[in-house]
Structure 1
Amino acid sequence: MRSIKRLTMAAAGAATVAFALPAGVAAQGAPTFGMEPAWQVVPARPNLVFAPDRIPDRAAVLRAADYVAAAQIADMARHPLPLSTGGALDSAASNWVAATFYVGAARLARVSSQPETLRFLTATAEHYNYAMRGARSGKTMLNADDIAIGDLYQELYARRRQDGVLMPLQQRLDYSIPHLMRTEETPALVWWWCDALFMAPPVMARMSAITGDPKYLIAMDREWRRTAGLLWDKQQRLFFRDARFLDRTSANGAPVFWSRGNGWVLAGLARTIEAMPADFAGRNYYLDLFRQLAARTAELQGRDGLWRASLLDPAAFPEPETSGSGLLLYGIAWGVNHGLLPRNRYVPAVTRGWAALNRHVLPSGLLGAVQKTGDQPVATAATDVGLYGTGAYLLTAMEVADLARGAAALPVPQPQADSEQVIASTTPQPPAPRTVTGDAERARRAAEMTATAALAYDPAVLGRPATIEPLTPPTGDAARPRAIVHYAPERLDDILWENDKVALRIYGPALEAKEPPSGSGIDVWGKRVRWPFMQRQLRFPNYHVDRGEGLDFYDVGGSRGAGALGIWYGNKLWTSRNWATHRVLDTGGKVARFEVTYKPWPVDVVRRVWETRSFALPMGSHFTRMVSTLGSDDSKQPLVVGIGIGKRKTAAGTGRVVRDQANGRLTFHEPADPGHGAVSITVAADPATVVGFAQDADNYLMLVRVQPGTPFAYYTGYGWDRGLDVRSAADWDALVAGTRFDFDAGR
């Protein structure tokens, strides 16, 4: 048998055929196949004694972190990788156990002088081809535990900018969005246990930060609130682990609140908030929840600086436990470092806890007193270890190292891209096949690799040509926010109008001739820039594709769309065709104004009506004010006008309708479109004229009584949850409630 002190190139994955291990490594056991010998080298143990009453030296903290990380990597390198990693506890697995270590190790690798940490993380990600467990069923596809490793892939993508690093994760998250955004409440939650709030939400929030697409953050927000709504105890200011514990009590009669469970939530809040834009509509909810949970758990810290497994019954398991303690310490230290928690109150808790945590680093360099995997408080031995405990230790270390600095701004930017040299030195390369032996074969192999590099198509040469051409941001006056009206004969007589908030259009006679029966519904566009973009978007044959500034994804079909009208008679809505004439009144300034007419159309066989309507959209408003005058040559009797919002049904449900006759409003919160998010639409009319509500196959309707020949004013407006100002249905409801409508048609 060959000596374990010498490994072939294939076994070590190194750049030379054979090499000797450093002295002393052999005694620790042979590395697992594919693990580099350098990963089994544990550096000399630094001084791990920290004073509990003062902020430690940054360099000393980093030495401790490097040591514990290296010891953990060495231990992982000695354990074989099982084909199925779900229950693996000590190897470089793809499950949450190891993923929590990767989260902490990746933060350390940003500042560490030891490149082996990043090299090990890269090799692990390469081993799993940047993929996740759980492809076998819908339930496992949504399992937050299996998404936790996504943070490692995001970290490597941020540092390397290699497209393939992010693709599998993005596909998995895209699969989850319709389920997280469901409008119909379900008995079961996607994130039904509190640990999940550490595993998946930070990954989703970070995906929005990396891609610039808010859909991941918005979807995360929906399910987080559901989970918190079930598991957050407002009185105790703590999280239950899951629904089974809502009525469970400990031996002393107190509710069972698990230290590590609440640590998962506090640490998950920190990681989520640091990726959350400062203007995210729901951000204050997370800040408030973070402060409450941090304050409450700090009250329960033991005198030795650590927490007990059962927070309200410390006598049940009186021994210190480091995984829950590490997560809680990380969260509290993070809150101090980002100005969310007062330093004078919380720094003593952090320094006391950091000193205590280091007293549990075993002679092997592994963190001890780590409660085993599970779902509730249990007894823990001083020698118990776990990768997730080490991950929590490293996260805490990164914050303790920064305690001496001032408060850092939020959100936290993604790490800078690595240089080509750093990428090359921290990316293990596969060895040559074992058949490559002898000088001649090695020379042939070298020539083959040279030819492969020269002949293969390199996407980087063209900078990744895209099938979707992005809009180039305008410059100069074109980038000035303004309210515009554009008559578009190039798009079959559409009339477009937009301001710094919204973009809409109606259809003209050319489209009516080409695509009968075209109609007079109002179309809304998703818009995420302040300057006008619709004309530039329409230059592309497929303007239903988002090119970075917005798109038309709303399907008017045969409906009234967002606020067009018809005549309600005989339990049926009678509508006009496309506009017949138009006149632009004001464009390019503070208000977009135009006027259109509609040719007469029949109302059953009893009368004909026609309409003249003016439109006005001011800057800063989500609402277009319309003044309509209806004519009728067959009768002077009042008309009942149905102002409509098109019905919508998707895989996410049928949406939610709110009818408010007292205030003259009809609102429809549409179900989410899986690819493009959700729109909320409100029409508003003078409450004194509203006679009720109705619906037909295509529309929800607010019924308004009007007199032919007498102008009446009404409004239509919308918010898009992936746009600039409205991130949720609740945001839209608040905006509508705060809007003043003027129904004087003479103004």
Structure 2
Amino acid sequence: MVATLSRPRLAITVLALLAGLAPGVRAVPGAQAAPAACADLAPIRLAADHWIAGHGSATDSTWFNALFIKGDIETYRRTGDSKYLSYATAWANHNNWKLPTNAPNYDGPEASQEYLDLYDLDPAHPARDIADAQAYVTKQTARVQGGKVSDLSYVDAVRLGALSAFARLGVPNHNQAEIDAMAKMFAYTEAHIYDRAAALWWRDSRWVGTTQHWSRGNGWIVTALTDTVAALPAGDPNRAHYVSLLQAMFAKLKATQQAGGYWTADVDHPSAYPAPESSGTSMYTYGLARGIQLGYLDAATYTPVAQRSWAWLRDTALHANGVVGYVQGPASHPSQYQPISPTATSNYGVGAFLMAGVEASKFTPGC
């Protein structure tokens, strides 16, 4: 039997019915639209609409597309516009709410987190819509219980391997085994590729002992821990530890933010690859803004950091035609896809931009 998330079954509001949602899509609390006067809604919409216009929802469930869907879902929450929820739901239906079967290593489970987002948004979704997400967590928990804890051996896998899904399924279902499995897998990752002296992460074992810390790689850690912290109860010891890691990381990232508000592909050596990099910058902005809202990052210290990075993303990385540029291509270290072009874009880069914009806009006057 598939475990189901514990949640209230909420009625559809009159306003939702008036919103003209697509068949099978229901608006629920979770779409908390910003005021119409919010100036940041326009750039968020511009980026989302440009990508959607050029890409139908019939895309696969690999992480490239799933990350865009994450941003699209957050855009729905911020704008209340049903077209974004309809797009994400059509994507999930196209993939039968399944994880990809041909993704390498642990790059495939990312989609489970977007399925869980959609499941949370619509209380009418049946449990079968997250059956594949639950099956992945169940299988992975059994692997850990069998002694295999080393699967998340590279930074991408911490996010794409869906660390937060273990908390999001384990906590409401009171499944301590899933939470323990999450903690053990992450503990292995931390023990092997966390550079404690630098408060940053090496991409994988190839870089251990060096001073090279890849921007998007550290962004994967930030987004994974940020969403996991949000899913864990306040008294959970894992949560306290993850918060401490994020606090150390953001102290370092504050010090390495460039004057323009961005980060480069190599966090510690900006002169080596001086072009701005928007996907890592977006992920840091997302983590900064959520950390301030959740109370574990000091607002006076970090709000200016988040505002500077969002200002660069909004005013420079985003072009007038809706293209989100400066996105490093699919990579594993800073030197790839260099120099990064102002118009270099991707689905995951746009998704990260949307995630950043939604959270950072909450600090903009009028929003």
Judge same fold: TM > 0.5, yes or no: yes
- In structure 1, give the amino acid aligned to 2:323: L
Give the match for residue 106 of structure 1: 73
Give the match for residue 409 of structure 1: none
* CA distance in structure 1 between the partners assigned to 2:320 and 2:178 by the alignment: 43
Q: In structure 2, which of residues 205, 218, 221 is the aligned counterpart of residue 243 of structure 1? A: 205
* CA distance in structure 2 between the partners assigned to 1:97 and 1:58 by the alignment: 32
> Is contact 2:40–2:364 with CA below 8 Å preserved after alignment?
no
Question: Highest Rg: 1 or 2?
Answer: 1
Residue 183 of structure 2 is aligned to residue 221 of structure 1: yes
* CA distance in structure 2 between the partners assigned to 1:215 and 1:103 by the alignment: 27
Q: In structure 2, which of residues 114, 126, 135 is the aligned counterpart of residue 171 of structure 1? A: 135
Q: How far has the Cα of 1:212 moved from its partner?
A: 3.9
> Is contact 1:241–1:376 with CA below 8 Å preserved after alignment?
yes
Q: In structure 2, which of residues 317, 323, 329 is the aligned counterpart of residue 366 of structure 1? A: 323
- In structure 1, give the amino acid aligned to 2:287: G
- In structure 2, give the amino acid aligned to 1:375: S
Residue 350 of structure 2 is aligned to residue 403 of structure 1: no
- In structure 2, give the amino acid aligned to 1:165: D
> Is contact 1:105–1:391 with CA below 8 Å preserved after alignment?
yes
- 1:6-25 matches, cutoff 5 A: none
- In structure 2, give the amino acid aligned to 1:75: G
Q: In structure 1, which of residues 207, 215, 218 is the aligned counterpart of residue 169 of structure 2? A: 207
> Is contact 1:156–1:165 with CA below 8 Å preserved after alignment?
no
Residue 93 of structure 2 is aligned to residue 126 of structure 1: yes
> Is contact 1:270–1:331 with CA below 8 Å preserved after alignment?
yes
Give the match for residue 436 of structure 1: none
Give the match for residue 437 of structure 1: none
Deviation string for 1:36-90 (max 9, x for gaps)? 9xxxxxxxxxxxxxxxxxxx99721223212211111112129xx6xxxxxxxxx
Change (3 A) 1:62 1:363: closer
Deviation string for 1:559-608 (max 9, x for gaps)? xxxxxxxxxxxxxxxxxxxxxxxxxxxxxxxxxxxxxxxxxxxxxxxxxx
- In structure 1, give the amino acid aligned to 2:247: R
What SS does structure 2 have at the residue aligned with 1:314?
Answer: coil
* CA distance in structure 1 between the partners assigned to 2:215 and 2:159 by the alignment: 14
What SS does structure 1 have at the residue aligned with 2:363?
Answer: coil
* CA distance in structure 2 between the partners assigned to 1:345 and 1:179 by the alignment: 41
Q: How far has the Cα of 1:172 moved from its partner?
A: 1.8
Give the match for residue 157 of structure 2: 196
- In structure 1, give the amino acid aligned to 2:129: V
Q: In structure 1, which of residues 66, 73, 78 is the aligned counterpart of residue 52 of structure 2? A: 73
Give the match for residue 285 of structure 2: 329
> Is contact 2:97–2:132 with CA below 8 Å preserved after alignment?
yes
Q: In structure 2, which of residues 221, 228, 236 is the aligned counterpart of residue 265 of structure 1? A: 221
Moved beyond 3 Å, runs of 4+: 181-185, 209-212
What SS does structure 2 have at the residue aligned with 1:383?
Answer: coil
Change (3 A) 1:171 1:238: same
> Is contact 1:147–1:203 with CA below 8 Å preserved after alignment?
no
- In structure 1, give the amino acid aligned to 2:43: A
Q: How far has the Cα of 1:215 moved from its partner?
A: 2.8
Q: In structure 2, which of residues 93, 103, 116 is the aligned counterpart of residue 154 of structure 1? A: 116
> Is contact 1:150–1:203 with CA below 8 Å preserved after alignment?
yes
Deviation string for 1:406-463 (max 9, x for gaps)? xxxxxxxxxxxxxxxxxxxxxxxxxxxxxxxxxxxxxxxxxxxxxxxxxxxxxxxxxx
Deviation string for 1:448-497 (max 9, x for gaps)? xxxxxxxxxxxxxxxxxxxxxxxxxxxxxxxxxxxxxxxxxxxxxxxxxx
Residue 84 of structure 2 is aligned to residue 117 of structure 1: yes
Higher helix share: 2
Q: How far has the Cα of 1:178 moved from its partner?
A: 1.6
* CA distance in structure 1 between the partners assigned to 2:37 and 2:198 by the alignment: 35
* CA distance in structure 2 between the partners assigned to 1:146 and 1:367 by the alignment: 24
* CA distance in structure 1 between the partners assigned to 2:207 and 2:41 by the alignment: 39
Q: How far has the Cα of 1:210 moved from its partner?
A: 4.6
> Is contact 2:155–2:221 with CA below 8 Å preserved after alignment?
yes
> Is contact 1:259–1:308 with CA below 8 Å preserved after alignment?
yes
* CA distance in structure 1 between the partners assigned to 2:232 and 2:48 by the alignment: 28
Gaps of 5+ in 2: 1-21, 23-34
What SS does structure 1 have at the residue aligned with 2:231?
Answer: coil
Q: How far has the Cα of 1:338 moved from its partner?
A: 1.4
Change (3 A) 1:112 1:209: farther
> Is contact 1:370–1:389 with CA below 8 Å preserved after alignment?
yes
- In structure 2, give the amino acid aligned to 1:119: S
Deviation string for 1:6-53 (max 9, x for gaps)? xxxxxxxxxxxxxxxxxxxxxxxxxxxxxx9xxxxxxxxxxxxxxxxx
Give the match for residue 394 of structure 1: 354
Q: How far has the Cα of 1:217 moved from its partner?
A: 2.1
With CA pairs under 8 Å and 6+ residues apart, which has the higher RCO, 1 or 2? 2
Deviation string for 1:680-702 (max 9, x for gaps)? xxxxxxxxxxxxxxxxxxxxxxx
- 1:635-646 matches, cutoff 5 A: none
Give the match for residue 7 of structure 2: none
> Is contact 2:163–2:224 with CA below 8 Å preserved after alignment?
yes
Give the match for residue 241 of structure 2: 285
The total of aligned residue pairs comes to 325
Deviates more, 1:93-102 or 1:321-330: 93-102
* CA distance in structure 1 between the partners assigned to 2:230 and 2:37 by the alignment: 22
* CA distance in structure 1 between the partners assigned to 2:176 and 2:88 by the alignment: 28
What SS does structure 2 have at the residue aligned with 1:315?
Answer: coil
Residue 62 of structure 2 is aligned to residue 95 of structure 1: yes
Deviation string for 1:661-681 (max 9, x for gaps)? xxxxxxxxxxxxxxxxxxxxx
Give the match for residue 145 of structure 1: 107
Q: Give the alignment's TM-score, normalised by structure 2.
A: 0.83
Q: How far has the Cα of 1:404 moved from its partner?
A: 6.2
Higher strand share: 1
* CA distance in structure 2 between the partners assigned to 1:299 and 1:204 by the alignment: 32
- In structure 1, give the amino acid aligned to 2:203: R
> Is contact 2:285–2:360 with CA below 8 Å preserved after alignment?
no
What SS does structure 1 have at the residue aligned with 2:67?
Answer: helix
Deviation string for 1:626-646 (max 9, x for gaps)? xxxxxxxxxxxxxxxxxxxxx
* CA distance in structure 1 between the partners assigned to 2:323 and 2:189 by the alignment: 33
- 1:534-573 matches, cutoff 5 A: none
What SS does structure 2 have at the residue aligned with 1:190?
Answer: coil
Q: In structure 2, which of residues 250, 256, 271 is the aligned counterpart of residue 315 of structure 1? A: 271
* CA distance in structure 1 between the partners assigned to 2:127 and 2:65 by the alignment: 24
* CA distance in structure 1 between the partners assigned to 2:178 and 2:71 by the alignment: 23
* CA distance in structure 1 between the partners assigned to 2:172 and 2:49 by the alignment: 29
What SS does structure 2 have at the residue aligned with 1:282?
Answer: helix
Deviation string for 1:353-406 (max 9, x for gaps)? 11111111123312001000010003111110011111111111121122269x
Q: How far has the Cα of 1:184 moved from its partner?
A: 6.8
* CA distance in structure 1 between the partners assigned to 2:216 and 2:194 by the alignment: 15
Q: Give the alignment's TM-score, normalised by structure 1.
A: 0.42
What SS does structure 1 have at the residue aligned with 2:250?
Answer: helix
* CA distance in structure 2 between the partners assigned to 1:122 and 1:198 by the alignment: 22
Gaps of 5+ in 1: 1-35, 37-55, 82-91, 249-254, 406-747
Q: How far has the Cα of 1:281 moved from its partner?
A: 3.0
What SS does structure 1 have at the residue aligned with 2:135?
Answer: helix
- In structure 2, give the amino acid aligned to 1:166: I
Q: How far has the Cα of 1:208 moved from its partner?
A: 2.1
What SS does structure 2 have at the residue aligned with 1:149?
Answer: helix
Q: How far has the Cα of 1:216 moved from its partner?
A: 2.3
* CA distance in structure 1 between the partners assigned to 2:306 and 2:239 by the alignment: 25
Q: How far has the Cα of 1:306 moved from its partner?
A: 0.1
- 1:348-747 matches, cutoff 5 A: 348-358=304-314, 359-378=316-335, 379=338, 380-403=340-363
* CA distance in structure 2 between the partners assigned to 1:269 and 1:126 by the alignment: 28
What SS does structure 2 have at the residue aligned with 1:131?
Answer: coil
CA RMSD, 1 decimal: 2.2
> Is contact 1:58–1:401 with CA below 8 Å preserved after alignment?
no
Q: How far has the Cα of 1:340 moved from its partner?
A: 0.9
